[in-house]
Structure 1
Amino acid sequence: MKQGSALRGVVNALLLAINTIVCCTPLFVVALFKFCLPFAAAQRVTDELMRHIHEAWVGNNKRWMNSARVDWQVTGLQGLDYQHSYLVTSNHQSWVDILVLQYVLNRRVRPLKFFIKQALIWVPVIGLAWWALGFPFMKRYTKAYLARHPEKKGKDLATTRATCAKFRGKPTGIFNFVEGTRFTQAKHDQQQSPFRHLLKPRAGGMAFVLDAMGEQLQSLVNVTIYYPGATPGFWDLLCGRVQTVVAHFEELPIPRQFIGKSYDGDEAYRQEFQQWINGLWSEKDERLERLSRGLRGSHQPSASR
């Protein structure tokens, strides 16, 4: 990881904050109109305006990210269509992953909708922005809590279905970190993960999306992100310490047998789906192993800069 300046980090943090406030102001105004005008024509107009504001926010962030002159080594973007809907997934190592995905995919596909923990809706400004943009908020319950409150079982699925139903008929980018949390060696050891560079995948979130809106999705975009050297933190990105980002995008067809099925209610389907995801994760693990050994072949520079 290259040397970076704390001063640069402070300046970029201020730019990020200013960008967020400037973009959120019109976003909240449009969201208010959307709430007050529940008519199809008004909803279409407000949705379009909020999409452009979202993309402008990402585009402005790309400007301060470009100032660090990161070596972007990106492959596999060919064929992505802005007018199609995609389910996107990636390995997860750092909060930097999210900005990497936004940086590369902005205006190549529709703005990504992330699954977010419900508690994060209370994050100042940005939590309300996520809500206005229609991000799906999820509340996870422990097994002990569900044992005491069985009526809450399946609540996540109901939330996912309700949220995804809003995207029907609209090109949409749905994103899910299949691992469910950031990779650390401690988590890897605790899970006894069979993969060298990945945590065990949690297939339920993706299965719920396919159940809710699988017919609309063009394909799965499977992303592998690798940072040579140490995994950077968000402060490292702000300070300009990230030297190289390797990102491989692979567009894969979604098997028809996985669309519109109940992940909770069909044991055979659940096992087959888990095997499919585990196969994708095995291939991703092999790619990360080759990258860690310096066996990467030729790369294509990203055209997103």
Structure 2
Amino acid sequence: MSTVRGLVSVLLLSLTTLFWGIPLVLLTLLKLVTPGRRLRRRVLDGLHGVALAWIGSNLWWIRRWLAPDLETRLPDGLSRDQWWLVLSNHRSWTDIFLLFLALHRRLPMPHFFVKRQLIWIPVVGLAFWAMEFPMLRRLTREQRARHPQLARRDREATERMCRHAQERPIAIYNFVEGTRFTPAKHAAQGSPYRHLLRPRAGGTAQVLSLLGDRLGGILDITLYYDNPAPTFWGFLCGQEGRVVLDARRLAVPAWMLHGRYHDDPDYKERFQTWLNALWQEKDAWLDSP
């Protein structure tokens, strides 16, 4: 029965993606030939509307067909009229839909830092590109040292998103660990945390320095799964069990607003210390959610 549930879930997800993919492709083609940023912004508003409709359609059947056991703990004061930076740990592709379940229509249009390879996913990759999500290479320290021009392109992609974000409120979601948690990755990193991978600070610091004075706050989210090895297929089969999504609202410290993470070693060290402390608190919470 669980396999049948999973297959039906895949069918429903595919149907909503194909249905909303038609206006997505048409608007993307229109955006390519539209002159001027002001007119392209109107097309982009249409693309955002399509994306929100795709999210809403999927949440409709997820709530009714899968009825996930999700316990949400949200702070007061969330608004669609403010800019937000959302930080979260990362366990599974399921995380994205859980964030949507908790925050859809409570925050403005979501923008994700996404891996560049995801551009090849049919329809979804096109949506990432058309809506100007920063598509990053997630380079290792050694790769950044050998190819600094690639790291610079990633920073430029983030700068473009933040520059365009000043036109309208958005919520920027960042899975700060850069990849999904697995025991093998945890061991390979020598992570000092029991339940988390090491956080990467660069993208977060860049957003805060470029948009910090506009942000309504930082939304720090911790995801806990009863299932020690969650998978997206397990979620589609309705087998993940209880999940807790705990969110707390953090103010943006004044010292973050004007720093240059990649050029100022003192600022870089201070920011990494702040993020590590945040991850230590998150790790302790995961001991007893």
| Range of TM-score over shorter length | over 0.9
Instruction: Quote how far apart the aligned CAs of 1:89 are.
Output: 0.9
Indicate the residue corresponding to 1:31 in structure 2. Answer: 28
Cα distance change on mapping 1:233 and 1:263 into 2, 3 Å:
same
1:42-98 CA-to-partner distances (Å, cap 9, x unmatched) read 334323222221111111111222122222211124210011110101011111111
Tell me how far apart the structure 1 counterparts of residues 241 and 143 of structure 2 sit (CA, whole Å).
Answer: 44
Q: Work out whether 1:189 is the aligned partner of 2:187.
A: yes
Indicate the residue corresponding to 1:93 in structure 2. Answer: 91
Cα distance change on mapping 1:30 and 1:246 into 2, 3 Å:
same
Query: Aligned to 1:224, what secondary structure does the other structure show?
Result: strand
Cα distance change on mapping 1:148 and 1:271 into 2, 3 Å:
closer
Tell me the amino acid that sits aligned with residue 269 of structure 2: Q
Tell me how far apart the structure 2 counterparts of residues 146 and 16 of structure 1 sit (CA, whole Å).
Answer: 37
Indicate the residue corresponding to 1:51 in structure 2. Answer: 48
Instruction: Quote how far apart the aligned CAs of 1:164 are.
Output: 1.9
Tell me how far apart the structure 2 counterparts of residues 146 and 185 of structure 1 sit (CA, whole Å).
Answer: 25
Indicate the residue corresponding to 1:20 in structure 2. Answer: 17
Calculate the TM-score normalised by the size of structure 2: 0.93
- Count of residue pairs the alignment pairs up: 288
Indicate the residue corresponding to 1:5 in structure 2. Answer: 2
Tell me the amino acid that sits aligned with residue 60 of structure 2: R
Aligned identity (percent) is: 40
Tell me how far apart the structure 1 counterparts of residues 261 and 200 of structure 2 sit (CA, whole Å).
Answer: 12
Q: Note the 1:1-305 alignment, pairs <5 A.
A: 5-39=2-36, 41-66=38-63, 67-142=65-140, 145-291=143-289
Query: Aligned to 1:70, what secondary structure does the other structure show?
Result: coil
Cα distance change on mapping 1:30 and 1:265 into 2, 3 Å:
same
Higher relative contact order (CA 8 A, sep 6+): 1
Q: CA RMSD in A?
A: 1.9
Indicate the residue corresponding to 1:297 in structure 2. Answer: none
Calculate the TM-score normalised by the size of structure 1: 0.88
Tell me the amino acid that sits aligned with residue 105 of structure 1: L
Indicate the residue corresponding to 1:300 in structure 2. Answer: none
Tell me the amino acid that sits aligned with residue 90 of structure 1: S
In structure 1, the gaps of 5 or more residues are 292-305
**Greater mean deviation of Cα atoms: 112-121 or 89-98:** 112-121
**Greater mean deviation of Cα atoms: 11-20 or 49-58:** 49-58
Tell me how far apart the structure 2 counterparts of residues 276 and 251 of structure 1 sit (CA, whole Å).
Answer: 15
Cα distance change on mapping 1:195 and 1:61 into 2, 3 Å:
same
Tell me the amino acid that sits aligned with residue 216 of structure 2: Q
Tell me how far apart the structure 2 counterparts of residues 237 and 187 of structure 1 sit (CA, whole Å).
Answer: 22
In structure 2, the gaps of 5 or more residues are none
